[in-house]
Amino acid sequence: MEMTVNIKLNNKLFLRNPDESELGKKILQYSIILIHRIGFEAFTFKKLAAEIGTTEAGVYRYFENKHRLLLYLVDWYWSWQEYRLIYATNNISDPTEKLSIAIKLLSTSVEDDTSTSYIDEKLLFEIVIMEGAKSYLTRHVTEDNKHRLFKPYKDLCARIADIILECNPTYKYPRSLASSAIEMAHSHNFYVKHLPSLTDFNSLNTTHNVPDFIEDMVFSVIRIP
Amino acid sequence: MEMTVNIKLNNKLFLRNPDESELGKKILQYSIILIHRIGFEAFTFKKLAAEIGTTEAGVYRYFENKHRLLLYLVDWYWSWQEYRLIYATNNISDPTEKLSIAIKLLSTSVEDDTSTSYIDEKLLFEIVIMEGAKSYLTRHVTEDNKHRLFKPYKDLCARIADIILECNPTYKYPRSLASSAIEMAHSHNFYVKHLPSLTDFNSLNTTHNVPDFIEDMVFSVIRIP
DNA sequence: TACAAATGATAGCAATACTATCGTAAATAA
DNA sequence: TTATTTACGATAGTATTGCTATCATTTGTA
């Protein structure tokens, strides 16, 4: 059986829906490749257009600016992670096991998922680690938030907060803990790679790793040994 | 008795030391005000120059570019926080109390500290929350790191990691926990203000707050009730 | 009094972040 | 079939950004 996952995103993210045309899909595909290669700061619509053989104006027909494109990619990523979490925890009743799965899914690098042809999930994972925070660290967070542009991230946080409450209904800070765990899953992957002295891991010694640390943290906090 | 704290920073951060001249101090003072007002993205040396009545080229004589200036401010901030931590924990022997003080210092907004005339610590605190991550989320992290430009941050992390180890010498992830706590101190202040659904606090209900959550987290993890 | 250092003033330039217009090809409706 | 929308390519243009360079003037130091 062949099947594809189609992730629908808030239509305020784009001017023309990129997943409904060949050019649109190419914009998504090559923006991931190019941002991954040169970084979001150096990334421009002109360079992207040259990469895929269209013009700058052509890209502007799909996205207002590169920040909106980043938001699209980040939202896609969080929606995809939520889908993976639902899929991976299906039929599992033990909430601690669900939590453990969630932590592993979020903090472990992935292989390119073949279910979507034009999105390279491995590259996207690395982009979200490196550039993800820039999607909300702006002057217009509040406005973007009103337009529900952070909904996928919040939905995932809420889902994990629910699992935390299932584990321990008396824990006082489920949402804060959920968002912290998700952020740590990314930030510590960044630290391991770029600022290893901020962690207790190194790429050689694999006895300790990021998901182990986060699991230890989360389960300690909600008092599950 | 009057005294001033003078923070010396890595001289690779600047071309000409800004704290050794009137113009340099004005650059620091007004860059904080301007970045706080319009955000780091919209901030330019031209606008800064106009603000303080000098020219664009004048600012470039002190800092290579605006990213280096941000790094200067962020490094200044972390050095200042480490100084505050040393000062506030002086003569305290109980490591759990030291840890508690550290968490409060890092996660609670400050009033403008009068010990430095040209740096507004309250504004700087808010800048580091909003823009701090951009100091290391770049293509040149590795190079900047080689030049020791993140040393103040790492020093503070190491100091807190040491306190964590004093509390519990068997805890496996002291550095990861320290860097996480510091980051959470900032990120959750950001969430409370801009994305409150990611937290369990709100500005009205002050029964729960950011330092309480982080304390609960840290002490749970190192198994101190 | 001489000299170097710091600053001010101005110019210029390539790249960025757009916006606008126009022609054409392909898909769709009448 | 023809008419018409739509999507795209091509080109042009503009304000701003992110610098670098030059030269004159002021200011502090020897």
Q: Across chain A, what does the average pLDDT equal?
A: 94
Q: Give the CA angle between residues B191, B137, B5 to the nearest 5°.
A: 80
Q: Residue B111 — very low, low, confident or very high, per pLDDT cuts 50/70/90? A: confident
* Predicted confidence (pLDDT) per residue in A175-204, tens digit: 999 999 999 999 999 999 999 999 999 767
Nearest to A218 by CA among A100, A51, A133, A80: A100
What is the distance between the alpha carbons of residues A144 and A70, in angstroms, rounded to a whole number?
A: 13
Q: Residue B1 — very low, low, confident or very high, per pLDDT cuts 50/70/90? A: low
State percent of chain B over pLDDT 70.
94
- A-chain residues within 8 Å CB-CB of B35? none
Using C1' positions and the CA of A58, the closest nucleotide is D8
Least confident span in A104-118, A120-134, A172-186, B131-145: A104-118
Q: Give the H or E element holding residue B206.
A: none
Q: How far is the CA of B44 from the C1' of C16 (A)?
A: 14
Q: Residue B148 — very low, low, confident or very high, per pLDDT cuts 50/70/90? A: very high
Mean pLDDT (whole number) for B2-8? 77
A121/B contact by beta carbon, under 8 A: no
Q: Residue-wise over B2-16: b if at least 16 C-beta within 10 A, else e?
A: eeeeebebeeebbee
Residues 191-220 of chain B with CB under 8 A from chain A are: 191, 194-195, 197-201, 208, 213, 216-217, 220
Please report, for chain B, the start and end positions of each structural domain, with discontinuous segments joined by +: 11-221
Which residues, other chains included, contact B140 with Cβ-Cβ below 8 Å and sequence gap of 6+? none
pLDDT at residue B186 is higher than 70? yes
Q: What is the DSSP letter of A135?
A: G
Q: How far is the CA of B28 from the C1' of C14 (A)?
A: 29
State percent of chain A over pLDDT 90.
88
CB–CB of A178/A145 below 8 Å? no
pLDDT at residue B112 is higher than 90? no
Q: How far is the CA of A30 from the C1' of C30 (A)?
A: 39
CATH, range A11-221: 1.10.357.10
- A-chain residues within 8 Å CB-CB of B220? 220-221, 223
pLDDT at residue B115 is higher than 90? no
> B197–A158: do the CB atoms touch at under 8 Å?
yes
Mean pLDDT (whole number) for B195-218? 89
Q: Residue B116 — very low, low, confident or very high, per pLDDT cuts 50/70/90? A: confident
3 state DSSP class of A137:
coil
- What is the pLDDT, as a whole number, of residue B44? 98
pLDDT at residue A2 is higher than 90? no
Out of B39, B172, B179, closest to residue A139 by CB: B39
A224/B contact by beta carbon, under 8 A: no
Label residue A145 exposed, middle or buried (CB < 10 Å: 0-12, 13-18, 19+): middle
What is the distance between the alpha carbons of residues A129 and B216, in angstroms, rounded to a whole number?
A: 27
Residues 50-109 of chain A with CB under 8 A from chain B are: none
Nearest to A181 by CA among A207, A151, A157, A149: A157
The encoded tokens of residue B100 equal 């508690």
Out of B130, B136, B174, closest to residue A200 by CB: B174
What separation in angstroms does the CA of B139 have from each of A130, A131, B136? Answer: 9, 10, 9
Contacts of the segment B117-120: beta carbons below 8 A, 24+ positions apart: B117/B4, B118/B25, B118/B26, B118/B28, B118/B29, B119/B28, B119/B29, B119/B32, B119/B76, B119/B80, B120/B29, B120/B32, B120/B33
What is the distance between the alpha carbons of residues B189 and B105, in angstroms, rounded to a whole number?
A: 13
* Predicted confidence (pLDDT) per residue in A16-57, tens digit: 999 999 999 999 999 999 999 999 999 999 999 999 999 999
Mean pLDDT (whole number) for B127-155? 98
- Concatenated DSSP letters of B123-180: HHHHHHHHHGGGGTSSTTHHHHHHTTTTHHHHHHHHHHHHHHHHH-TT-S-HHHHHHH
